[in-house]
C-alpha cells in the first residue's frame, strides 16, 4: 500500500488557477471513486475540501473542484487567494477498510 504520488509544489498568482495531480493505481484511485482532498495550513489540522472525487462539503467554496481520469485524480483551485497557500493532500479508499494518502503538495500564492 504505497502513498499516492503528488507533485511536491505548485504555485500561481492571485486570481489564477492551479491544478494538483494525485496518481495512484488501479487498486485505489482507478478502482474506487472515493477520492478526497484535504487542505492543511501550517500548525493546523487538515480540513476536508473534496470527497467522492468531486463533491464539496458544506462551507467549502466552489473555487475548489475535483476530478479523476484513470488512476489520476486532480484538484483545481480557481481564483487563487492568499489564504489558499497551504499543503494539500489527496486520499483514496484502497479496499478492505484501508485508506491511503498522497505525498502532499505545497501550494504557493505568488
Partner 1 sequence: EVQLVQSGAEVKKPGESLRISCKASGYSFITYWIGWVRQMPGKGLECMGIVYPGDSTTRYSPSFQGQVTISADTSINTAYLQWTSLKASDTAMYYCASLGVEVTDAFDFWGQGTMITVSS
For partner 1, the closer of residues 17 and 98 by Cβ is: 98
Residues that bind partner 1 (CB under 8 A): 1, 3, 32, 34, 36, 38, 40, 45-48, 51-52, 55, 57-58, 89, 91, 93, 96-104
Distance of alpha carbon 61 from alpha carbon 42, whole angstroms: 20
Distance CA 18, CA 27 (A): 27
Among residues 71 and 105, whose Cβ is nearest to partner 1? 105
Nearer to partner 1, 64 or 79 (CB): 64
User: 59: which residues sit within 8 A by CB, 6+ positions away?
Assistant: none
Q: How far is the CB of 97 from partner 1 (least distance, A)?
A: 4
Taking the C-alpha atoms of residue 71 and residue 4, their distance in angstroms, rounded to an integer, is 10
Q: How far is the CB of 37 from partner 1 (least distance, A)?
A: 9
Cell numbers for 78, please give them.
Answer: 480557481
Dihedral of the CA atoms 28, 32, 33, 35 (nearest 10)? -30
Nearer to partner 1, 13 or 58 (CB): 58
Q: How far is the CB of 15 from partner 1 (least distance, A)?
A: 28
Amino acid at each position: 500500500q504505497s502513498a499516492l504520488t503528488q507533485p511536491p509544489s505548485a504555485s500561481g498568482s492571485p486570481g489564477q488557477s492551479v491544478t494538483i495531480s494525485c496518481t495512484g493505481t488501479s487498486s485505489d484511485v482507478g478502482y474506487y471513486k472515493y477520492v478526497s482532498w484535504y487542505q492543511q495550513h501550517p500548525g493546523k489540522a487538515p480540513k476536508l475540501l473534496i470527497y467522492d472525487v468531486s463533491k464539496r462539503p458544506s462551507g467549502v467554496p466552489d473555487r475548489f473542484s475535483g476530478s479523476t481520469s484513470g488512476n489520476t485524480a486532480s484538484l483545481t483551485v480557481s481564483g487563487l487567494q492568499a489564504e489558499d497557500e497551504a499543503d494539500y493532500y489527496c486520499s483514496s479508499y484502497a479496499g478492505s477498510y484501508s485508506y491511503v494518502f498522497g505525498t502532499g503538495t505545497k501550494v504557493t500564492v505568488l
